[in-house]
Amino acid sequence: MELSFWAATDVGRKREHNEDNFLVDKKLSLFVVADGMGGHASGEVASHVAVHELRRVVEEDRPTLDAFAQGKATAQDVMTVLEEAVQGACQVVFRRGQVEADKRGMGTTTSVLLVVGDRGFIAHVGDSRIYMVRQGQVVQLTEDHSLINELIRRGKVTKETLATSPYASFKNAVTRAVGVYETVQVDTIDFDILPGDQFMMCSDGLHAYLDDARTLELMADEDVTQVPQKLIDHANRSGGIDNITAVVVRIQESVSEAQEVRSEELTQRIEVLRHMPLFRYLTYREIMRVLNVTDVMDYDAGQVVLTENEPGDELYIILRGKLKLHKDGTVITFLEPGAHLGEMALVDRSPRSVSATAEDRSRLLVLRRREFYEIIRKHPPLSVKLLWSFVQVLAERLRKTTADLSGARLEQGAQDMSADVLFDE
């Protein structure tokens, strides 16, 4: 895919030094924003060292990126490259701080976007951010590693009450940074990129003044070279309390027929998942994480999808076509696009209660138990949402079963009373 991009940085209106740094590498399609921290200009050193060390490591591992583009390496291989690059930068910054006493404890946020073919890869530490603008919707792809975000997540404060709360003075405190310690926990995610996608990477000196409506407005300029400066001007007009950095990346919008089909299918998958009770509480970013571990399978008309009384470990979601559900040779119902079956297989290997056969040529999205458990193990906040949704789905089924049983008892009671009346006559 063709990329266009531009970047700019500014000291802001309150600071004397600019401790932000950014990287734009056209050959690698690698983009980085880093916001340094530490006294005596140590933050500037930390962000500068981190950015350049990151680029060096990714460049050394370029054969892995090329192999992925050729289908000879996996997305996980690329993610490993990014994570190793961030850890390498962390070690270099940390050791520099150990050698130079006036820089001890320095660190930096680090947000990385790497584009390989039609796939995006993100590695993230700190409270700089990466946003995606897709089909008129703004999606924050990274989560702030900050004290304030942790307090909001725990319900101690809200965004609306933060300014007047006792926690307001901690708004710049981060819970993770590159270089403060020798290693750091890195958030990573990979996702499909679509023609027309835009990405905006920024330090907190910018995103502190943005909402979705203003982001869409400022990102709408057709000339990408003008957008970063417009974003910076907006931050300065709004107060400019910190250093300001913006990197904007755009994916060429003109597409082939094959790309249009791919775009439509990906949009459909996301929308189907978002409307399922099991995934109702997930953010757009979390939905994409789930999509990363699903497979797409095609079935011809008459082909069996699952068989009653046999164990299984897959959840099936219908993207296209129609499935016939039947039991003991009796047709129960038909399922069409957007419907799903087999979600209990994500919990245990109980035998299937019905059989399913493709009525038409059908395409299904498949999520297996092993990958589902892997998500739960690696991403605790996401796992809480999924398990809570599971509890609600099971509770709803229990209520329905109870109601059905009550109805059956009432019906049986009415029949017994009718029989008694006939007998008395």
Q: 269 and 244, same structural domain?
A: no
Of 231, 254, 277, which residue sits at a domain end? Answer: 254
Residue-by-residue DSSP string for 206-271: HHTT--HHHHHHHHT-S-GGGHHHHHHHHHHHTT--S-EEEEEEEE-----HHHHHHHHHHHHHHH
Residue-by-residue DSSP string for 9-66: EE-TTT-SS--EEEEEETTTTEEEEEEEE-TTTHHHHHHHHHHHHHHHHHHHTHHHHH
Q: 224 and 82, same structural domain?
A: yes
Q: 190 and 274, same structural domain?
A: no
Q: 146 and 63, same structural domain?
A: yes
pLDDT tens for the chain, 425 residues long, are: 789 999 999 999 999 899 999 999 999 999 999 999 986 679 999 999 999 999 999 999 999 999 999 999 999 999 999 999 999 999 999 999 999 988 999 999 999 999 999 999 999 999 999 999 998 889 999 999 988 887 777 777 777 676 677 766 667 789 999 999 999 999 999 999 988 999 999 999 999 999 999 999 999 999 999 999 999 999 999 999 999 999 999 998 766 777 777 788 888 888 888 888 888 888 888 888 888 888 899 999 999 999 999 988 999 999 899 999 999 889 999 999 888 888 888 877 778 889 999 999 999 999 998 888 888 887 777 888 888 887 887 787 778 778 767 766 766 666 666 655 555 55
Residue 406 lies in a domain: no
pLDDT at residue number 168: 66
Structure tokens at 193: 């990129």
First CA to last CA across the chain, in angstroms? 84
Give the C-alpha separation, 30 to 52, whole Å: 12
Of 254, 272, 290, which residue sits at a domain end? Answer: 254
Collapsing DSSP to helix, strand or coil, 129 comes out as strand
Give the C-alpha separation, 10 to 159, whole Å: 26
Give the C-alpha separation, 5 to 217, whole Å: 17
Structure tokens at 152: 């909001």
Residue 391 lies in a domain: no
Q: For residue 141, with 0-12 CB atoms within 10 Å meaning exposed, 13-18 middle and 19 or more buried, which class applies?
A: buried
Q: 164 and 60, same structural domain?
A: yes
Q: What is the CATH number of the domain that holds 291?
A: 2.60.120.10
In DSSP terms, which residues pair with 30 in a beta bridge?
A: 25, 114
Give the C-alpha separation, 403 to 394, whole Å: 14
Residues 202/246, Cβ–Cβ less than 8 Å: yes
Q: 310 and 250, same structural domain?
A: no
Q: 193 and 287, same structural domain?
A: no
How is residue 94 annotated by DSSP?
Answer: H
pLDDT at residue number 254: 67
Give the C-alpha separation, 372 to 250, whole Å: 32
Q: 334 and 209, same structural domain?
A: no
Of 254, 271, 300, which residue sits at a domain end? Answer: 254
Range of the domain at 219: 3-254
Q: 241 and 188, same structural domain?
A: yes
Q: 312 and 208, same structural domain?
A: no
Collapsing DSSP to helix, strand or coil, 346 comes out as helix
Using the structure block, give the residue that is written with the tokens 């050193």: 45
pLDDT at residue number 48: 96
275: part of which helix (H) or strand (E)?
none
Q: 126 and 111, same structural domain?
A: yes
Residue 395 lies in a domain: no
Give the C-alpha separation, 219 to 222, whole Å: 8
Q: Which residues contact 183 (CB under 8 A, 6 or more apart)?
A: 87, 90, 91
Q: 88 and 73, same structural domain?
A: yes
Residue-by-residue DSSP string for 375-414: HHHH-HHHHHHHHHHHHHHHHHHHHHHHHHHHHHHHHHHH
Q: What is the CATH number of the domain that holds 190?
A: 3.60.40.10
